[in-house]
Amino acid sequence: MNNVQTLKGFRDFLGQDARKRQWLKNTIATVFERFGFEPLETPTLEYEELLLGKYGTEADKLIYSFEDRGARRVALRYDQTVPTARIIAQNKGQLPLPYKRYQIQPVWRADKPQKGRYREFVQCDADIIGTNATAADAEILAVYAAIYAEIGIESLQIRVNDREALILTLAKAGITPDNTFSVIQSIDKLDKKSEDEVIAELESKGITAEIAQNLLQMLEKTSISEKLQSIIDAAVAMGVKKESLVFTPTLARGLDYYTGLIFEGIVPEYESGSVGGGGRYDNLIEQLVGVPMSGVGFGLGYDRTLEAAEILGKVPAFSSSAQVLVTIFNPELASESMKVTNMLRESGVTAECYLDATKKLDVQLKYANAKGIPYVVVIGPDEAAKVVVKLKDMEKRIEKTLTLIELIKTFQNA
């Protein structure tokens, strides 16, 4: 027989797991729509040429690429920024600017699978492209915060910093331009590593201990830049809670293309890392597709945000598969059960009718238990004659005889 396995690093989502993911997607999309962001979906496959060289040499090795049957080199979507840049290049002059778009789709990376890291995972990005106004930076913070408010995660902290100011401090501390990005990558580890460890790492990169220590002290003392303060003020005017925005002068972010605001989201109760982040990138779109255009945006950690919502009890308890199973007493009474099921559904109740009239009642009750269906309806000859039903509460193990109207009301009030 075949290799009946799921590939390593890939996941199946059944039942409730799939429902939770769909709930998160819809919740996020609702917020983006409220802010006037446009949805975008791009194809799974792109010309490999579009993707190669865009993410760095190491990342190029993680791109799933192959030759298609028409001898074209194609690649699976590696992120959502490059396809969006393609859209901007293809629709130059057509898209109203700024182009505010959100995109929630899977991406693929041939990375080593490990806890929390998959080869197929959903990215959730929002970007405002085509303006360098600080109000755009503020709106990016506002929509990010609003998503967590919508989920019900009130504890979200957004660490913010100004990459431009950070680079200035590095220069003042004596870091040469060719070392700047490498130093930023080390500083970015300050929330996971101790200061001593980061200093040791900087020393391994040829920075003297003195310069490294001095740099960290200077960073901690950096005061907020005028621009960053104006972004924060605007974000507060847009509804972000002031106390959730935390100026963090040591925040660095590990990507090289940021040019201004940088930020990341932290849910204090969730300890596996930041739940997303982003910033301003005023040269990236030009680098990617040759169209000079400013941008600011974020990637929201989809799996982590779902985990955080679960830890905080914010994922709704979905009504398993159905609220009620209508059993079939015998083949002659099957159509009575079907009609009652239909009546329930038309009243907005999720209802299943058991499908095999030859199975005994206890088999049907076991099915309800296995699927976590909390109520069961029985319609025997007596009930059918009187046009009533028996309703069993599977957990409390009690049953009542109800008219059809009473039955519907039971669930509509539940």
177-206 positions binding its own copies, by CB under 8 A: none
67 near its own copies, judged by CB under 8 A: yes
Q: Cβ of residue 308: shortest distance to its own copies, in angstroms?
A: 21
Q: Which stretch, 155-163, 169-177, 276-284, 367-375, contacts its own copies (CB under 8 A)?
A: 367-375
Nearer to its own copies, 68 or 154 (CB): 68
Give residue for tokens 């080199």.
Answer: 73
Element of type H or E holding 280: strand 276-280
Helices marked H in 92-194: 134-151, 163-172, 180-187
> Which listed residue (183, 231, 353, 379) binds its own copies by CB under 8 A?
353
Nearer to its own copies, 200 or 384 (CB): 384
Q: Where are the beta strands (DSSP E) in 80-227?
A: 99-108, 120-129, 157-162
Interface positions, 118-147, toward its own copies (CB under 8 A) = 119-120, 128, 131, 133, 135-136, 138-139, 142, 146
CB-neighbour burial class of residue 1 (10 A; exposed 0-12, middle 13-18, buried 19+): exposed
> Which listed residue (56, 116, 290, 316) binds its own copies by CB under 8 A?
290
> Which listed residue (93, 204, 221, 370) binds its own copies by CB under 8 A?
370
Q: Where are the beta strands (DSSP E) in 293-384?
A: 295-301, 324-326, 351-353, 375-378
> Which listed residue (154, 220, 332, 356) binds its own copies by CB under 8 A?
356
The residues near 79 (Cβ < 8 Å, ≥ 6 apart) are: 55, 107, 123
26 near its own copies, judged by CB under 8 A: yes
Nearer to its own copies, 18 or 171 (CB): 18
* Total binding residues toward its own copies, as defined by CB under 8 A: 103
Distances (CA, A) of 145 to 156, 158, 175: 7, 8, 34
350 near its own copies, judged by CB under 8 A: yes
Helices marked H in 273-346: 284-289, 302-311, 334-346
- What is the distance between the alpha carbons of residues 205 and 160, in angstroms, rounded to a whole number? 26
Q: Which stretch, 203-211, 251-259, 277-285, 345-353, contacts its own copies (CB under 8 A)?
A: 345-353
Q: Cβ of residue 59: shortest distance to its own copies, in angstroms?
A: 13
Nearer to its own copies, 5 or 204 (CB): 5
71 near its own copies, judged by CB under 8 A: no
Q: Name which of 344, 342, 338 is nearest 384 in CA terms.
A: 338
Q: Cβ of residue 71: shortest distance to its own copies, in angstroms?
A: 12
40 near its own copies, judged by CB under 8 A: yes
Interface positions, 265-284, toward its own copies (CB under 8 A) = none
117 near its own copies, judged by CB under 8 A: no
> Which listed residue (218, 357, 361, 388) binds its own copies by CB under 8 A?
357
Other Cβ atoms within 10 Å of 120 Cβ, number: 14
> Which listed residue (55, 367, 375, 411) binds its own copies by CB under 8 A?
367
Q: Which stretch, 152-160, 168-176, 317-325, 386-394, contacts its own copies (CB under 8 A)?
A: 317-325
The residues near 373 (Cβ < 8 Å, ≥ 6 apart) are: 320, 321, 322, 323, 324, 325, 352, 367, 394
Nearer to its own copies, 92 or 400 (CB): 92
CB-neighbour burial class of residue 266 (10 A; exposed 0-12, middle 13-18, buried 19+): buried
CB-neighbour burial class of residue 338 (10 A; exposed 0-12, middle 13-18, buried 19+): middle
